[in-house]
Amino acid sequence: MLIETLTVGPVMTNCYIIGCEETRKGAIIDPGGSAERILDAVERMGLDIVYVLNTHGHFDHTLANDEIVAATGAPLAIHEADAPALAHGGGAAWFGMRGSKSSADLLLKEGDVLKVGNLQLHVLHVPGHSPGGVAFYIPDEGVVFSGDALFNMGIGRTDLPGGSYPQLMTSIRTKLFALPDDTVVYPGHGPATTIGRERAGNPFLA
Q: How far is CA 126 from CA 1, 3, 96, 186, in A?
A: 24, 22, 27, 15
Residue 91 has pLDDT above 70, yes or no: no
Summarised one tens digit per residue, pLDDT across range 92-131 is 666 666 667 778 999 999 999 999 999 999 999 999 999 9
CA dihedral 127, 120, 145, 86 (to 10 degrees): -50
What residue ranges do the domains of the chain occupy? 2-205
Q: Which CATH class is domain 2-205?
A: alpha beta
Calculate helix-pair angle for 65-72, 35-45, nearest 10 degrees: 40
Summarised one tens digit per residue, pLDDT across range 26-57 is 999 999 999 999 999 999 999 999 999 999 99
Summarised one tens digit per residue, pLDDT across range 129-168 is 999 999 999 999 999 999 999 999 999 999 999 999 999 9
